[in-house]
Amino acid sequence: MQTMRVPKNKGRRGRPPDESPAASLWRRVDVPSAFAPARQVEDRILAHCRRLAYTDRDLFALKLAIEEALTNAVRHGNQLDPHKSIHIKYRITPHRADVVVEDEGGGFNPAALPDPTRNCRLSCAGGRGILLMRAFMNSVVYNAAGNGVTLTKFNDAYPRHAGLLKAGSPEKRCYQ
């Protein structure tokens, strides 16, 4: 699995990744760095996807990936500092959902993470969040600083993409 990083000039808290005419569909919400307010936004995103007839599997995958991204933003990024914020952007269309989660921390290098699936690491308690995001999303892209991540999930029920694009092989697609 690999991570694609946004080029530097699109750095932290820049504009949303898509500047096409459809960019007006982006919503932006800043919430205090805590689980409860972040989860309200998550619930809104999922409700939106449910209305647009995303599959149950898509909803499971999105919930899981957004949870992991938010947890990392609160814990690793903002280091549980209640004075910091999380910046969430999302764009939901009938065929794809993009969710950007940014924190106010110093970021990290996702390419340097150890592989938690190696036998002798199986009994280590942590380090599986990013693995799960990558496995369940169509694409997981960190910005250059590492303090923002864009999750993308296609609606598996949307005809145009049916068969063409499947979750679980994010390395095959890179778009921004």
Residue 34 beta carbon to other proteins: minimum distance, rounded to whole angstroms: 10
Closest C-alpha among 76, 74, 71 to residue 85: 74
User: Given the DSSP bridges, would you call strands 139-142 and 4-5 parallel, antiparallel or unpaired?
Assistant: parallel
Closest C-alpha among 79, 64, 43 to residue 134: 64
Interacting partner of 108 out of a second copy, other proteins, ligand ADP, none (Cβ under 5 to 8 A depending on kind): ligand ADP
Of 47, 53, 80, 113, which lies in the binding site for ligand ADP, with binding defined by CB under 6 A? 113
CB 99 within 8 Å of CB 150: yes
Residue 167 beta carbon to ligand ADP: minimum distance, rounded to whole angstroms: 18
Instruction: Tell me, rounded to whole angstroms, the distance of Cα 96 from its chain centroid.
Output: 13
d(CA 42, CA 19): 23
Count CB-CB contacts under 10 A for residue 14: 12
108 near ligand ADP (CB under 6 A): yes
16 near other proteins (CB under 8 A): no
Cβ distance to other proteins smaller for residue 20 or 119:
119
Binding mask 77-116 for other proteins (x = CB under 8 A): ---------------------------------------x
Cβ distance to ligand ADP smaller for residue 16 or 110:
110
120 near a second copy (CB under 8 A): yes
User: Given the DSSP bridges, would you call strands 96-102 and 139-142 parallel, antiparallel or unpaired?
Assistant: unpaired
Q: List residues near a second copy by CB under 8 A.
A: 114, 120-121, 123-126
